[in-house]
Amino acid sequence: MGEFELIAQFFTRPQHPLGPGVELGIGDDCALLAPTPGMRLAISSDMLVQGRHFFADVDPRSLGHKALAVNLSDLAACGARPLAFTLALALPQADAAWLKAFAEGMFALADQHGCALIGGDTTQGPLNICITVFGEVPPGQALLRSGAQVGDDVYVSGTVGDAHVALQVLLGHVTLDDATFAKARQRLEQPTPRVALGQALRGIATAAADVSDGLVGDLGHILKQSGVGATLRAQDAMQLLAACAVSTGATGQFASKNASFISPELHLQSVLAGGDDYELVFTASPANCAAVQAAALASGTPVHCIGQIEAAPGLRVVDSAGQPVAQGVKAFDHFAPHKG
Annotated binding site for substrate: 53, 276, 332
Annotated binding site: 29, 44-46, 53, 74, 120-121, 145, 210, 212-213, 276, 332
- Give the whole-angstrom CA distance, residue 186 versus residue 164: 11
Q: Which residues of 38-62 are buried (b: 16+ CB within 10 A; e: fewer)?
A: ebbebebebebebeebbeeeebbbb
Question: 218 vs 245, which CB is nearer to a copy of itself?
Answer: 218
Contacts with 205 (C-beta within 8 Å, 6 or more apart), sequence order: 79, 143, 147, 155, 282, 283, 284, 292
Let me know how long the chain is.
340
Please, what is the minimum distance in Å from the beta carbon of residue 87 to a copy of itself?
A: 8
- Give the whole-angstrom CA distance, residue 150 versus residue 168: 36
Annotated binding site for ATP: 120-121, 145, 212
Q: Which residues of 88-120 are buried (b: 16+ CB within 10 A; e: fewer)?
A: bbbbeebeeebbebbbebbbebbeebebbbbbb
CA-angle at 191, arms to 189 and 194, nearest 5°: 170
Question: 181 vs 332, which CB is nearer to a copy of itself?
Answer: 332
- Give the whole-angstrom CA distance, residue 102 versus residue 100: 6
- Give the whole-angstrom CA distance, residue 113 versus residue 65: 12
Looking at residue 7, the DSSP 8-state letter turns out to be I
Q: Are 81 and 199 in contact (CB under 8 A)?
A: yes
Q: Are 167 and 340 in contact (CB under 8 A)?
A: yes
For residue 208, the cross-strand partners are 282
Q: Could you please report the per-residue DSSP string of 51-106?
A: TTTB-TTS-HHHHHHHHHHHHHHHHHHTTPEEEEEEEEEEESS--HHHHHHHHHHH
Annotated binding site for Mg(2+): 29, 44-46, 74, 121, 210, 213
